[in-house]
Amino acid sequence: MNLLALPVLIPLLAGSLLLLLPNRQLRSLLAFFAAVLVLVCELIILQNVLSGKVLVLQMANWPAPWGISLVADILTGIMLTLSGLTGLLTVLFASSSLQHQAHWGKTKGLNALRERYGFQALLQFLIMGVNMSFLTADLFNLFVAFEVMLIASYGLLLLGNELPQLREGFKYVIVNLIASAIFVVAAGLVYGLVGTLNMADIAFKIAEYTAVQGPDARIRLLAMLLALVFATKSALFPLGFWLPNSYPVPAAAASAFFAAMLTKVGVYSLTRTFTLMFPEETFIKTLLLVLAGLSMLVGALGMITQSRWRHAFAFANVSSVGYLLMGIFTGANAGLAAALYYLIHSVLVIFCLFLIAALAERIAGLKFTLSGHLNTYPYLALAYFIAALALAGLPPTSGFIAKYALIASLLNAGGGLHTGLAIAAVLSGFLLLYAAMKLWRSFFWGEAKVVHKVALPAGMKLITGLSFGLMVLLAVFAGPVYQVSNRAAMQLATNQAYLEAVLVRIDGPRIGDEPKPLEQDGLTEEVN
Q: Rule CB under 8 A: choose which of 60, 217, 451, 506 binds other proteins.
A: 451
| 159 near other proteins, rule: CB under 8 A | no
Direct distance between the N- and C-terminal alpha carbons of the chain, in angstroms, rounded to an integer: 39
Rounded least distance, CB 423 to other proteins, Å: 36
| 455 near other proteins, rule: CB under 8 A | yes
| 221 near other proteins, rule: CB under 8 A | no
Q: Rule CB under 8 A: choose which of 32, 117, 191, 209 binds other proteins.
A: 191
Torsion of CA 504, 508, 512, 516, to 10 degrees: 180
> With contact defined as beta carbons under 8 Å apart, do 48 and 79 qualify?
no
| 217 near other proteins, rule: CB under 8 A | no
Q: 10 Å Cβ neighbour count for 157?
A: 25
Phi, psi of 308 (to 5 degrees): -115, 145
Helix spans in 100-162 (H): 110-116, 119-135, 139-158
d(Cα 316, Cα 351) in Å, to the nearest integer?
A: 11
Q: How far is CA 475 from CA 277, 396, 399, in A?
A: 33, 8, 8
Q: What DSSP designation does 380 have?
A: H
Question: Which residues, 6 or more positions from 19, have their beta carbon under 8 angstroms from its beta carbon?
Answer: 118, 121
Rounded least distance, CB 15 to other proteins, Å: 16
* Only segment of 72-80, 172-180, 290-298, 316-324 that touches other proteins (CB under 8 A): 172-180
Rounded least distance, CB 337 to other proteins, Å: 36
Q: Is 69 helix (H, G, I), strand (E, B) or coil?
A: strand
Rounded least distance, CB 298 to other proteins, Å: 21
Site for other proteins in 340-369 (CB under 8 A): 364-367, 369
Q: How far is CA 144 from CA 68, 240, 331, in A?
A: 12, 22, 30
d(Cα 512, Cα 205) in Å, to the nearest integer?
A: 8
* Only segment of 106-114, 274-282, 331-339, 382-390 that touches other proteins (CB under 8 A): 106-114
| 371 near other proteins, rule: CB under 8 A | no
| 524 near other proteins, rule: CB under 8 A | yes
Which is nearer to other proteins, 441 or 453 (by Cβ)?
A: 453
Q: Is 249 helix (H, G, I), strand (E, B) or coil?
A: coil
| 124 near other proteins, rule: CB under 8 A | no
Strand 69-72 versus strand 55-58 pairing type: antiparallel
Q: Rule CB under 8 A: choose which of 47, 61, 412, 453 binds other proteins.
A: 453
Which is nearer to other proteins, 64 or 489 (by Cβ)?
A: 64
| 161 near other proteins, rule: CB under 8 A | yes
| 476 near other proteins, rule: CB under 8 A | no
Which is nearer to other proteins, 115 or 138 (by Cβ)?
A: 138
Q: How far is CA 437 from CA 32, 122, 279, 381, 473, in A?
A: 36, 35, 40, 12, 24
Q: Rule CB under 8 A: choose which of 140, 385, 434, 445 binds other proteins.
A: 140
Which is nearer to other proteins, 107 or 428 (by Cβ)?
A: 107
| 180 near other proteins, rule: CB under 8 A | yes
d(Cα 250, Cα 245) in Å, to the nearest integer?
A: 11
> With contact defined as beta carbons under 8 Å apart, do 336 and 267 qualify?
no
Which is nearer to other proteins, 105 or 479 (by Cβ)?
A: 105
Rounded least distance, CB 451 to other proteins, Å: 5
Which is nearer to other proteins, 112 or 413 (by Cβ)?
A: 112
> With contact defined as beta carbons under 8 Å apart, do 495 and 277 qualify?
no
Site for other proteins in 289-308 (CB under 8 A): 308
Rounded least distance, CB 528 to other proteins, Å: 7
Rounded least distance, CB 501 to other proteins, Å: 24
Q: Rule CB under 8 A: choose which of 20, 181, 221, 473 binds other proteins.
A: 181
Q: Rule CB under 8 A: choose which of 112, 151, 411, 493 binds other proteins.
A: 151
Q: Rule CB under 8 A: choose which of 52, 192, 420, 469 binds other proteins.
A: 192
> With contact defined as beta carbons under 8 Å apart, do 271 and 330 qualify?
no
d(Cα 122, Cα 170) in Å, to the nearest integer?
A: 18
Q: Rule CB under 8 A: choose which of 40, 178, 382, 476 binds other proteins.
A: 178
Q: Identify each DSSP E strand in 136-214 by its residue range.
A: none
Q: Give the CA radius of gyration of the chain.
A: 23
> With contact defined as beta carbons under 8 Å apart, do 384 and 356 qualify?
yes
d(Cα 289, Cα 286) in Å, to the nearest integer?
A: 5
Contacts with other proteins by CB under 8 A: the residue count is 56
Q: Rule CB under 8 A: choose which of 22, 51, 60, 105 binds other proteins.
A: 105
| 372 near other proteins, rule: CB under 8 A | no
d(Cα 77, Cα 134) in Å, to the nearest integer?
A: 9
Q: Rule CB under 8 A: choose which of 22, 211, 449, 506 binds other proteins.
A: 449
Which is nearer to other proteins, 179 or 356 (by Cβ)?
A: 179
Q: Rule CB under 8 A: choose which of 147, 371, 459, 493 binds other proteins.
A: 147
Measure the CA angle with vertex 355, ends 150 and 380; round to 5°: 170
Q: What DSSP designation does 235 have?
A: T
Binding site for other proteins (CB under 8 A): 103-109, 140, 144, 147, 151, 154, 158, 161-164, 166-167, 169-170, 173-174, 177-178, 180-181, 184-185, 187-189, 191-193, 197, 308, 364-367, 369-370, 449-455, 518, 520, 523-524, 527-528
